[in-house]
Structure 1
């Protein structure tokens, strides 16, 4: 890189490269100063109004203007204390606001990202020309913005860059697959799957690359690992095209197995304790098998819905409550029982019970376990029970 230019990296960290040195800004600035500097940089050298900054950082302050001026002063002072930056003016005071515009040529990854995306934003699919811009976007993105705050403006910025990255990745992978550029496809898909493991599409394209290279053994192994993760860790139901991919792998894999190897493989698998948590598709299959067994062996099965009830609409709190509910269900049921997540608020459970009273006792045990994990009495886990034979 040209040492006379300043390079700012905001994706997955906060570093500035200048004069042949790399500065991790978290080592030099306070949390407040970091957030303030990041906002100024993200405005792409435009004027940032005082009103915007006061509302963003000091909405509840008795004297927001005084707080803003003090923190701008403090930020400038901390930047000057970095020896390499002592002669550089980073932040300029302007009418009604401030502008981040160092007195040297500056390049930051977020501005480059947005510039490249603007060139291909309207493209429904990519070709030789648009793929060049797309590849630059993928190379620039190394994870979410440095973010040490829960302020809505920051969260929206983080989500914006993430969504652009995923959209561009999807179109670029589709282009590489169409044009048989399998090495590029493999590289991009692996990076995307590493950064965003909960997105099925990323794993799908990586497996496609392995299949296209004829590496069916690696494709099979990665398919097993990635789909198990999607289902067990993220409760994602596999798409039809992902399921069809499995048939492609099996149908072309010529590696033969022996019964000893298969037995050894399954014996080595770690079996989790408590009830089995799975995606909706797996639950449907298990339900069908259970109903067949119920007829043959005269068993009674019950379906349970456990539903979170809470005041407000705090998404993060809801996710915490859902995790507590999941733990309560998993630990309160037997290892042979099975459950899945239905939607934003509910879990569905299937288990055999000899008597209906037993079903209600089990449901109450789960509910009591949940209540022991929360302090707010208004946060409750309700349950509904239905005999599958009725």
Structure 2
């Protein structure tokens, strides 16, 4: 194939790479940070953007660095970039053009840059009035968006500014595609785009889209499992509840599952606990909350005693531990210690990165002290000093409703004074 017919493809969304004639462009020379950054800036402002003015280039290349002679440093960096490009499989050419203070990427072959195509597709979609064509343009943009803009340079001011702008465009495109697909009830494609959105931005609650798509496909078991996984991630990693939208979908999903006729054998199979796990039963916080409310009603009727225990991981000064790698290790060990120390009929959950809730049925306050001591011994089995990093509070479930209790239930949350 003729060299002029080969295309140079540049990828900046999700990671940086260059492909020429179907083969990766490998930089043989030591690709110093400034040289590679200059290349990325020039490519970012290539094509329809027509280049970058010298003053702006100096700002983006050196930022807040204290450079005594930025102009001379730029000349040196341009020279090094030319040498670096000469050592690749790219055709020999003067790729960097400087004219009237504007720096441009110029090449003998067509150069395609994913982020430019992405951004132009979103803009075209926003201006398009025909519904089908707007969907096509937005869908193309979503297919191009494999992740944030130049994540390796995420600390650079110019990258941060552009990354925020491109994410906003992605949200516009994704929402447009979603609205169209929902209208035509294409749930398979809805599942595809929402799965990718969750991968890229796991904490932006695109999970609601995925749950809705699974429900549209009548895959309620998968939707329920994914909801549980999402709830666990938000509670354990961020210490927050899922959004009202996700909770509403959960209620709708539960109602639909209840309303669908199923054979008795299938119902029993779904209700069975997977495996025969030893020790206490771990629940996600939403499930624990519902179990607590159910037990509270049962106890009102039969008079049996029950206690809610809060165990808190602390630092050396007795304050709730902050999120660190060591605290995460403590949390894993405490989870295992609680599960090992309790009966199969007891249940517990992780309320926040540093706190666990335990529901103890058919016990008394004196036994609660012994239970905590067992948990403490198991937690500190390998490191006796770890006993200093746990504290607990316990309250009778019957007393929690009273004004004197430190522990309160408000809406979907547990609170203590």
Give a deviation string over 1:166-220, Cα, whole Å, max 9, x none: 443233212211233445434433443454555312312421441xxxxx3xx12
Q: How many residues of Structure 1 are paired with residues of Structure 2 in the alignment?
A: 362
Cα distance in 1, alignment partners of residues 258 and 295 from structure 2: 29
Q: Name whichever of 42-51 and 65-74 sits farther off.
A: 65-74
Q: 1:50 maps to which residue?
A: 58
2:393 to 376, 382, 385: 385
Specify the alignment match of 1:130 in structure 2. 134
State whether residues 211 and 226 of structure 2, in contact with CA within 8 Å, keep that contact through their aligned partners in structure 1. Answer: no
Shift of 1:255: 4.9
Task: Rate the CA distance shift 1:207–1:263 in 2: closer, same or farther, 3 A.
Answer: closer
- 1:69-120 per-position Cα deviation (integer Å, ceiling 9, x unaligned): 5444333221111132322x33334677744344544321101211222345
CA 1:5 to 1:364, structure 2 compared with 1: closer, same or farther past 3 Å? same
Is contact 1:302-1:359 (8 Å) kept?
Answer: no
Q: 1:49–1:96: 8 Å Cα contact kept in structure 2?
A: no
Aligned mate of 1:75, from 76, 81, 105: 81
Residue 3 of structure 1 and its aligned partner are, at CA, apart by 3.3
Report the equivalent of 1:202: 209
Query: What's the offset of the Cα at 1:29?
Result: 6.6
TM-score by length of 1: 0.71
Who wins on radius of gyration, i.e. which is larger?
A: 2
Aligned to 2:175: 170
**What is the alpha-carbon distance in structure 1 between the residues aligned to residue 153 and residue 385 of structure 2?**
30
Quote the residue 2:232 is aligned against. 232
After superposition, the Cα gap between the structure-2 partners of 1:305 and 1:247, relative to the gap in structure 1 and judged at 3 Å, is same
Instruction: Indicate the SS of the match to 2:52.
Output: coil
CA contact 1:275–1:329 (8 Å) conserved in 2 = no
What is the root-mean-square deviation of aligned Cα atoms in Å? 4.6
Match of 1:213 in 2: none
| Number of the residue aligned with 2:22 | 21
Contact 1:370–1:381 (Cα < 8 Å) also in 2: no
1:338 to 348, 354, 365: 348
Q: Normalising to structure 2: TM-score of the pair?
A: 0.67
Q: 1:255 to 1:384 in 2, by over 3 A?
A: closer
Contact 1:303–1:350 under 8 Å retained in 2: yes
CA contact under 8 A between 1:189 and 1:205: conserved in structure 2? no
Structure 2 unpaired stretches of 5+: 236-240, 341-345, 400-404, 406-417
